[in-house]
Every structure is written in structure tokens, then in C-alpha cells.
Structure 1
């Protein structure tokens, strides 16, 4: 029979562990509470690497069907329930792909633990690297300069000279990517990797890099969701689409609606109940498209030079711009030209803009067409809006998350309402 210290230790270990670590270190304790059938079932899931927090929580909860749990047992129930809810939230970001086993490998691990895991199971892929940095001549020049320096040092030592490919890998691992010391840098790094073991029967169930990217993004987003933020300006993102909403007209800032999706009639505008209901339906499906939006944003950044700051915006949810003061945006993009290939990646946005007669070569026209300000906005809101127009026009890269969000939204709208024009 367990005592109070046993359950307190179980709570502590479960909070600090992955689902596999939690079951491994606490299965003896679970055996004293749960039925034998449930324990055998969980042990089977554990051995097959199919264990989930939801299964663990349900088995624990069912153990109290015939008695009321003590205060300590209720505490553990709450911990398991929270972990199961977090797991369910992560599933929403995976777009149906099989990311859950990898999520369970990395959840609750520190940054210092995740990086060695990645370097053990993944390797740099030169094809991906040069594809990603082909628009960044400074990076390529630095890379080959370092390779040349390393080659000369080896020649001076008169040692056996490795092949050029070996030297290139050494420079990438020991010089370029020797210090991956932030989440932003890690997200950047993993886009250059492929699994070391690509076989279907990999002993550790290693997944493709897209899954790794999705899991890391989900882990970061779940962390950010725990830190409540509030918009710093008068404008925010419409809770039902990508457009601008005025926070002064909303009961809650995270429930503000743009003029297109305003539900209640006011003196300044009519009610848009049909548009509101259609947007609700789109938003329900959009919840499951986060991974595709993340990959689209990563693809869009390839058309412009980018750095860690640009990668970081992808980690802070899609309304990141609400919390970033315009004065902190430092233009450094160089030529801001939208190529035909860029618009091919955003077919729904391109069509939406053309239908409004918007010239696709004008940054300001594109931003104003996608993020129109309501004509009834007061002076303070208009000033905040103008500051953002200036910031986005100076460096269009900061507007890319909005475009990726709009592309996903418009694609779902077309799927649900193929015969209806987009509400404007």
C-alpha cells in the first residue's frame, strides 16, 4: 500500500517527465491503484511506444469509479488531466500527421536535452542547406571562406587532407552550427536536417524533418499560450480571420472582430451575422491547419534574406505583431520584390487581391487591401494603424505571417463556400 510520500513523489516525477518517463518510474505506484487489466494494457502501449497521456489519465480516473479519491489522488488526477489536455492541443497542430510519438519523445525536455537528441538522430543535408541559402550570398561566401581557411591549416600540418565534402561538413558542424543556443536558432537549424536512419523500422521511430519541425513549433506555441499577453496598441487581429480589429469595440481583446465579421449592429455599421457564421465555420477547420501554415511561412521566407528575428516571429503565434512595438522593427531586407514563384505559393491571396484591383507590385497597396481599417475608426486607432503600415512597408518580411494566415483561411473558405465570394 502506498503512503502520502509515494503519491507526492509520483506527482513530482510526472510533472517533470515525458509520458514514457512518467510510466516507467511510476508503474509500480500505478499498479497499487489501477486494475491489473489496465496496467497490462498501459504496459503494452509503453512497450510498443504508443502510450499517451490520454490513455494514462483515463486508466487512472477509472480506478476511482467505486470510491472518492483523496486530496493527493485528486492532485495527481489534475496533473494527468492537464497533460492529456496539452497532448490534445498539440494534436490540433499536427494536421493529421503522425507526430505524436516524436512529441512524446521531446515533451517536457529542456532545450539542452532536445538539442543532443536531434544531433543524435538527424544530420545536415547539403541539398537542403544550399536550397535554403541560395538567396543569401553572404552566407555562401562565409561558408566557402571558412572551408578555404580550414584547408590551408590542414595543408600546413601536412596531415591527410579530407575530401572537400568532409571539410564542408566539418565547417558546418564545428563553425557555422556549433552554437545552436536559442529556440529561434534551433527552428532554423532543423529545416536543414534529414533523419540519419531513414528506414521504416528505425529502432527509435525517428520521423521526417517536417514532423520534427511541427513538434518543435507545437511545443513552443504551447509554452507561449501559458504566458498571457495583451496587445500594446489599439489594433489587434480579428478573432475570426486575419484582418485588423479595433480593441475599443470588443468586450475582450482576444474576441475583437473586424468590420467584416462584426456580429452586433451599431450606429456606425450594420450587423454581419451571415459573414460571422461563415467565418466561424472556417475558423473551426483552421484550428487543424497550423502545421501547414508554419510550413508555408517557412517557404515564404526563402524569397527574402532572413535572420533569427524573422524565424522568431513564427514561434509567437500568428498575432505576433500585436505585441511588437513598431520602433523595434529594423528594416534590413534590401530589395522587396514579389516574384511569380512567390505568388504561386499564395494562389488564394493573389486572387483575393486581383479581385480588388490591387497591384501586386505595390507593398502598401497589398497591405492596405489585406488589412483594411474600418472607416469608423477613431484617431488613436488610425494612428496605430498607420505606424504598422509604415513598419510593414519598410520590411515586408514582418507581414509574411499575415499572408500565410490569410492563404490558409481563404483556401478553407473556398472549400466550404465554393460559389460565394469572400466577404469584404
Structure 2
């Protein structure tokens, strides 16, 4: 068998490595306790790049079946199970798109290790960049001003002048995106990339970059979930849809439900059992729509001025408003205009609002129609709610996660119950 210090070192190394490096450190333990055929199966998965944490965890459990574990062995087992659990969640997050290879490539890497990997395998795409910033004249003006300055410097040196496209790429890489120094900035940067070695098929190019985006989002969410706090606000997100729920009416804050989806009968309020059951079915299926919802949110942000502070809404933190004080949301510059393209990206939400006679040009009307507060709410809850109505109206970009969540939810509801109106 092995020394205690050996397994302690293995635990430490597995904590800090990808699944493939972890397997290398575990080989000596596996080879001494496993049946030969089980070991060969793991080696086969390793060689063809299909090894998973789940496979390693199951192999470990099988090898130790029927015997008690030492404290060190038990610690290693916990680590493998934890990695397997995160991997299972990531698989559900990706849905039908297989991003596990990228997930395994990037997991447990530090930010400083991930960025060089991305810059080695991906490049900026000008079409994506100008599409994203077409509504931000300040960015475009700054970009071309830097290009002009660089051109003048080259002319003074009387050196061979690169083409305008080459200068544009130099400015983007060396001036605009020279410092990608946070997860938020990295996520933003990735939306502008395509693979360096991609084929001519542009659809596949975008799909490949979306895989990278999804893999990074999954890793960021897993990191966030580990330090998730309880809502500080008295209102929270309904556990079965996107609406507002009062935490004082729930046994657990993460199980609070809006007035539309209350299962139990309350004072002067009937039980909504059928609505509850339908919403439960939608929520179960919504678990597999994370990546499409993230992409929709990314698409919605392009219709508004870019601000690095607002990037937090892209980290899949759909209930961010439960944790951040509303005073930190300052009015957006200028009145936002909802274009036809914006509502085309949210067809189910647009229909939902029109059915209620909601004017699609009124920020407050949209927010109140989508996030109605129960008429029985107490004074304190109503006051908290009004503060958030003001915050969202000040900057509608902070409300985009709610709209993306509602669009995904309503689409699934229509798929499951095509002949039934949405419960209200």
C-alpha cells in the first residue's frame, strides 16, 4: 500500500488540477486496489480524452467496496465525489451541447492560466466586435482615434506601413484589450472571439466560441455557488418562475413562491395547485436551458450602451438584486429605446406583455407587469419592492436577466401546455 503522506499529496494535487492530471496522480493508488479490467477501462478513457470525474469516482467506490477507509482515503473520496457532482451540474448546464472537453481543459486553472490558453487558440473577430459596439459611438470613436494615432507614429518613423486592418488588430490587441484582468472582462472578451484554426463554416466558428463561453460561465457559476449568500432583501425570486416572492411567507428563502404559484391555501387566497404543478414541470425542464438563456442575455445586452460595471448581469446571477443595495444603481444616460430587434429576441415575453395590455415603450409598466407584487404584501415588503422598481427603471439593463429568464420559462411553458394561457 501507500504512505499516508502520498495520499495527502494526491489530495492536494487533485484539488488543484484537471481530471487528466488528477488521474496521473491517482494511478499508483488505482493500480494497487483496482481490478485489472477496471483499470484498463480508465486508461482507455484517458487515452481517448473521454475520462470524467464521474468515472474516476465510481471506480474508486468500486475498488473500496466492502472495506473501511482511512481518514486520508475518505478525504480523497470526498474530493472525487465533489468533482463528480460539479461535473454533473456542468453537463446539465450545457444541455445538448457537449462542452465537457473544454470544461475539463479549463477547470481548476487560475485566471492567469486561462487567459493565455484562450489567446493561443482564439482570435478577435471584427464582425462580432462592430456588431456588439454599434450602439456605442464612444467606443468606435476611441478605437479609430487610436488607429489614427498609431498610423501617424508609423509615418513619422518612415517605416513600412501595415494595412488598415493590421493596424486595427494591433490597436485592439495592444490598446483596447491589452488588459483583461477580471472574470467579468474575460467573459466580455470571449464574446468577440472565434477559433484561430476554425473552418470556413462561420456557423461552426460561432458555435465553437459559444462552447468556450458556456464552459467559462459554468466554471464561474460553480465558483459563485460555493459562496452564495441568503437574500438580504425581503423580496426574492419565486422558486418556480421569475416573479417576485415574499420571503416572510416561506420556510426557506430559496423556496419562496410568488402569489401565482402558492400551493397552500392562505387567508383570503385560494390554493393554486394546478398552477403550481405546471410551474414545477416547467422548472424541471428549465434546468437544461442554462446555456441558451446565457446566450440570450448576451444578445440582449448589445441593444444598450456598454458599461463594464453592468457586466455582472452576464455571470448568470439571475437574482443579483436580492443581494445588492438599490442605491448602487444609477440612472442610465439617455432614454433606452426598445427596437424591433430587441422584442424579436424576446417573442414570448413580448406576447405575455401585450396580452396584459402593457405598453412596450414604458419601462415601469414592463417591470410591474413582469414582476407584480401580491396585493396582500405588507408595508415593509411594498416599500422594498418600490425601491427596486425605481432601481430597475433607472437602468433597465439590470432587469435584462429577469427578461431572459422569463423568455426561457415562457418558451418551455408554451411547449408543455400549448393550449393553456400562462397562469397569472
- SS of 1:208's equivalent? helix
- SS of 2:372's equivalent? coil
Is contact 2:217-2:316 (8 Å) kept?
no
Q: CA deviation at 1:301?
A: 0.7
- SS of 1:135's equivalent? coil
Is contact 1:326-1:387 (8 Å) kept?
yes
Is contact 1:151-1:167 (8 Å) kept?
yes
Distance 1:410 1:46, change over 3 A: same
Distance 1:207 1:50, change over 3 A: farther
Aligned to 2:276: 276
Is contact 1:301-1:397 (8 Å) kept?
yes
Asked if residue 395 in structure 1 is aligned to residue 416 in structure 2, the reply is: no
- SS of 1:265's equivalent? coil
Is contact 2:310-2:398 (8 Å) kept?
yes
- SS of 2:123's equivalent? strand
Q: Distance in 2 between matches of 1:269 and 1:314?
A: 37
- SS of 1:123's equivalent? strand
Is contact 1:318-1:402 (8 Å) kept?
yes
Q: Distance in 1 between matches of 2:308 and 2:259?
A: 34
Aligned to 2:406: 406
The CA deviation string for residues 284-336 of structure 1, in whole angstroms up to 9 with x for no partner, is: 00011010110000111111112222221221521111111110002224221
Is contact 1:195-1:207 (8 Å) kept?
no
Q: Distance in 2 between matches of 1:207 and 1:55?
A: 27
Asked if residue 63 in structure 1 is aligned to residue 63 in structure 2, the reply is: yes
Q: Distance in 2 between matches of 1:129 and 1:38?
A: 49
- SS of 2:236's equivalent? strand
Aligned to 2:92: 92
Is contact 2:349-2:403 (8 Å) kept?
yes
Aligned to 2:185: 185
Asked if residue 13 in structure 1 is aligned to residue 13 in structure 2, the reply is: yes
Q: Distance in 1 between matches of 2:266 and 2:323?
A: 28
Q: CA deviation at 1:207?
A: 7.4
Aligned to 1:421: 421
Question: Aligned runs of 1:161-172 on 2, under 5 Å?
Answer: 161-172=161-172
Is contact 1:304-1:333 (8 Å) kept?
no
Q: Distance in 1 between matches of 2:405 and 2:370?
A: 11
Q: Distance in 2 between matches of 1:357 and 1:14?
A: 56
Question: Aligned runs of 1:172-251 on 2, under 5 Å?
Answer: 172-199=172-199, 208-251=208-251
Q: Distance in 2 between matches of 1:313 and 1:323?
A: 13
Is contact 2:294-2:316 (8 Å) kept?
no
Compute the TM-score of the two structures, normalised by the length of structure 2: 0.96
Question: Aligned runs of 1:214-363 on 2, under 5 Å?
Answer: 214-315=214-315, 317-363=317-363
- SS of 1:236's equivalent? strand
Q: Which blocks of at least 5 consecutive residues in structure 2 are unaligned? A: 201-205
Q: CA deviation at 1:78?
A: 1.1
Aligned to 2:203: none
Point out the more displaced range, 313-322 or 269-278: 313-322
Is contact 1:268-1:376 (8 Å) kept?
no
Cα root mean square deviation, aligned: 1.4
Question: Aligned runs of 1:136-155 on 2, under 5 Å?
Answer: 136-155=136-155
- Figure out how many residues of one structure are paired with residues of the other and give that number: 419
Q: CA deviation at 1:384?
A: 0.5
Q: Distance in 2 between matches of 1:283 and 1:265?
A: 22
Is contact 1:53-1:83 (8 Å) kept?
yes
Aligned to 1:203: none
Distance 1:116 1:11, change over 3 A: same
Q: Which runs of 4+ in 1 moved over 6 A?
A: none
- SS of 1:194's equivalent? strand
- SS of 2:420's equivalent? coil
Q: Distance in 2 between matches of 1:179 and 1:198?
A: 25
Q: Which blocks of at least 5 consecutive residues in structure 1 are unaligned? A: 201-205
The CA deviation string for residues 6-34 of structure 1, in whole angstroms up to 9 with x for no partner, is: 11111111111110111123323321222
Distance 1:226 1:345, change over 3 A: same
Q: CA deviation at 1:199?
A: 4.9
Is contact 1:95-1:288 (8 Å) kept?
yes
Q: CA deviation at 1:181?
A: 0.3
Aligned to 2:103: 103
Compute the TM-score of the two structures, normalised by the length of structure 1: 0.96
Q: CA deviation at 1:93?
A: 1.1
Is contact 2:367-2:389 (8 Å) kept?
yes
- SS of 2:94's equivalent? coil
Is contact 1:240-1:279 (8 Å) kept?
yes
Aligned to 2:82: 82
Q: CA deviation at 1:98?
A: 1.1
Q: Distance in 2 between matches of 1:93 and 1:66?
A: 34
Q: Distance in 1 between matches of 2:165 and 2:275?
A: 57
